Amino acid sequence: MKKIQLNFRTKLGVIVGTMTVGLVLLIVANLVISSNVAWELRKIHNYYVPLIEVGPKLEIQFNGVMRGLQDAVAAHDEEALSATSKLNQTLIENLEKNAEIIYPGQPEKLQELKLALETNYSVAHDVSVRLLHNETGISVVNAMGEMQKVFSHSKNLLEKAILFDEEKLSKAFESVGSAQKTAEELELIISGVCLIIIIILSLWIGRGVLRSLYALTEGFKRFREGDFLTPIPIESDDELGEVAKNANLMSSKIRSLLAELKTTNKELESFSYSVAHDLRAPLRASIGFSNALLEDYSSILPDEAKKMLNQVIISSSKMGELINGLLSLSRITRNPMVVEEVNLSAVAKDVILTLQQGAPERKVLVHIEEGVMVRGDPRLLHVVLANLLGNAWKFTGKSDDAKIDFGKIREGDTDVYFVRDNGAGFDMRYVEKLFGTFQRLHPESEFEGTGIGLATVQRIILRHHGRIWARSEKNKGATFFFSLAVSEGAEV
Amino acid sequence: MRGRKILLVEDNSSDEALIKRVFSKANVKNEIVTVRDGEEVLEYLFCKGAYHGRNGDDVPRVVFLDLKLPKVDGLEVLKQIKANEKTSLVPVVILTSSREEGDVVEGFKRGANSYVVKPVDAADFNDCIQQLALYWMNLNEPCPLNFWGTEK
């Protein structure tokens, strides 16, 4: 079965649509049902209310006609007798007038009742006349019997016609009630169905969203931990799926970049290996053979030749140092950083101690601020301070009141660390060259060095996401400032 | 009696000459056999190729092994020396310019008996070779041949 894949826009549309359709259905059903109920009620009203009025009236009139006849006979009043005809006429007229109330849509029944009433009257009138004229005999008795029959027939019909039918009424009300009940049930069904559809859709969407979000969370966690090999599973074809797809594209890009970086690093490693191995060997040879010459053929070499050989040895040694510097520089860039709490004050003291031990005759006034704590790679930060303090030590070598300070200042919202000396300093015009590899601002005859130290320091500071800069005035000393901004788990 | 041979694996002729000079100054009389690439070491030790017919029981007293070698690299050579029953007990001293941590670790992992970085400074280099000659030719007691080399 093919899984139905819709995006959120469509899913939301389906929900809103369902709700709208449900609402419209409810309104229509309500209208239909309420108009039905109203119609039923009106029917009841139109039928029963007049009947309640008209029925008793007709009955009274009917009784009135009969009593009129009786009274006329009893009083022997011919005039009263003829007056009853008018009464009966009124009764018939009333009957016809209210035909629609009594027999709605049943003209034949009306005719039957009318006929019965007219027959009744004519028979009763006929008997009344004969009684009035004091007729006796069997024929009158027969006529009276006939009259009795006709009378009960007509009275029966009339009573039936105007009977207030409670059963019918309750049935009518029942039908109204059932119409209302049907309406309620229908509404319940419609809202129930809509609700179920909405709930199912919401659950469907919610589940999809949760699954996608879970996959995304897990995936990004993996990315953060450096696992770019496992892509985020695409859980849905919707907007979140799009996010996952893009994240996967990004991760594969990172992966290829990492692979590239790895290759570059490998190349660099093999390069430095070559430097270590291949550049040192010839140096050692030139020094070694120069030494061998000096040792083995000392007796036959002129002094000038010996001097020259010594120069060869010195230059070659110098180059060895340069190679070592380059190697350590490349090692600093390559090895992974170990970030921890480092007491810079302690490191500075340690460095100064070593420097002092290397030159016990020197008197330098050193001030190290206590308790300067930073986060960084302790080994690399030691290299930084060894170079900066070493430089300060070196460039104060020619002054009698040498002073070296290490401390911390606050600049804006960053901590800035500094190493200050009152030594030879440098010309600020060349400050740009200060941190370049093999760049030196002093002649080697004045201050020895390889020109790699500050380049190394700068690399280390950059790996700590920090900044390094310097201020100086020639012969008035130099100050080197640096900041560190390494965060937990940060790796360059 | 010159004793068992010393196998020097060194592709650099200058280093070879300097090492031989120090050994001779240190009064080492043993013959120093020099091979110049990884393949040649293996052929020599296992009496193959150019060394076909060489007496395989004549195992060196010590091997000085450079790591960066033409054809087969030093670490691979070391592995094969230590994997072969006949040569597995020959002390192998890695003598190289590389102080790369990876090389050191891998060297010892593969059974190197010593790892010496050739000093850059020529004087230090001389001292170093001299001490090696002293230690491996005088102090270190080699495993007797009849316990392993001659056994089939």
pLDDT at A283: 84
Nearest CB to A284 within list B96, B100, B118: B118
Scored b (16 or more CB within 10 A) or e, A67-77 reads: ebbeebbeeee
> How many angstroms away from the CA of B36 is the closest CA of chain A?
15
Instruction: Supply the pLDDT for residue B152.
Output: 41
A277: chain B residues, CB-CB within 8 Å: 67-68, 96-98
Contact criterion met (CB < 8 Å) for A285 and B14: yes
Give chain A positions within 8 Å (CB) of B68. Answer: 273, 277-278
Instruction: Provide the pLDDT confidence category of residue A491 given band limits of 50, 70 and 90.
Output: very low
CB contact under 8 A, A288 and B122: yes
Residue A6 pLDDT > 70: no
Name the band, by pLDDT with cuts 50, 70 and 90, for residue B109.
very high
Pairing status of strand A364-368 against strand A340-343: unpaired
Amino acid identity at A451: G
CA atoms within 13 A on the CB side of A85: 10
3 state SS of A443: coil
Residue that wins the pLDDT comparison between A5 and A75: A75
Cβ pair B137, A303 in contact under 8 A: no
Tokens encoding A439? 């760049």
Give the span between the Cα atoms of A188 and A170, in whole angstroms.
Answer: 26
> Is A315 an interface residue toward B (CB < 8 Å)?
no
CB contact (8 A) between residue A285 and residue B15: yes
Task: Please write the tens of the pLDDT for every residue from A271-289.
Answer: 776 766 677 778 888 888 9
Check CB contact under 8 Å for B18 and A285: yes
- Quick one: average pLDDT of B95-111? 89
Buried b (16+ CB within 10 A) or exposed e, A247-285: bbeebeeeeeeeeeeeeeeeeeeeebbebbbebbbebbb
Which tens digit of pLDDT belongs to each residue from A375-408?
999 989 999 999 999 999 988 988 888 999 999 9
Residue B97 φ/ψ, nearest 5 degrees: -85, -15
CB count within 10 Å of CB A223 equals 18
CB spacing of A280 vs B122 below 8 angstroms:
no
pLDDT mean over A331-351: 86
Q: What is the pTM of this model?
A: 0.47
For residue B120, give the nearest of A278, A280, A292 by CB distance.
A280
Instruction: Assess B104–A contact: CB distance below 8 Å, yes or no.
Output: no
| Residue to substitute from A277, A314, A319, interface B, most B β-carbons within 10 A | A277
Helix (H, G, I), strand (E, B) or coil at A333: helix
d(CA A461, CA A5): 52
> In this complex, do B121 and A317 lie within 8 Å of one another by their Cβ atoms?
yes
pLDDT at A276: 64
CA A385 to chain B, closest CA, distance in angstroms equals 24
CA A55 to chain centre: 73
| Tokens representing residue A93 in the block | 């007229």
Residues in chain A within 8 Å Cβ distance of B67 = 277
Q: CB-CB: which of B96, B100, B125 is closest to A288?
A: B125
Test B98 with A276 for CB contact under 8 angstroms: yes
When pLDDT is cut at 50, 70 and 90, the band that residue A487 belongs to is low
Mean pLDDT of B6-32: 91
pLDDT of residue A489: 45
> Any chain A CB within 8 A of the CB of B21?
yes
Cβ atoms of residues A251 and A223 within 8 Å: yes
Chain A contact for B125 (CB, 8 A cutoff): yes
pLDDT over 90, % of chain A: 17
Are A54 and A98 spatial neighbours (Cβ–Cβ below 8 Å)? yes
Question: Please, which pLDDT band fits residue A421 given cuts at 50, 70 and 90?
Answer: very high
Identify the residue with better confidence: A305 or A279.
A305
**pLDDT at A300 exceeding the cut of 90:** yes
Rounded distance between C-alpha atoms, residue A271 and residue A265, angstroms: 9
3-class secondary structure for A2-61? Answer: CCCCCCHHHHHHHHHHHHHHHHHHHHHHHHHHHHHHHHHHHHHHHHHHHHHHHHHHHHHH
pLDDT of res. A492? 41
Interchain CB contact of B126 with A (< 8 Å): yes
A-chain residue closest to B67, CA distance: A277
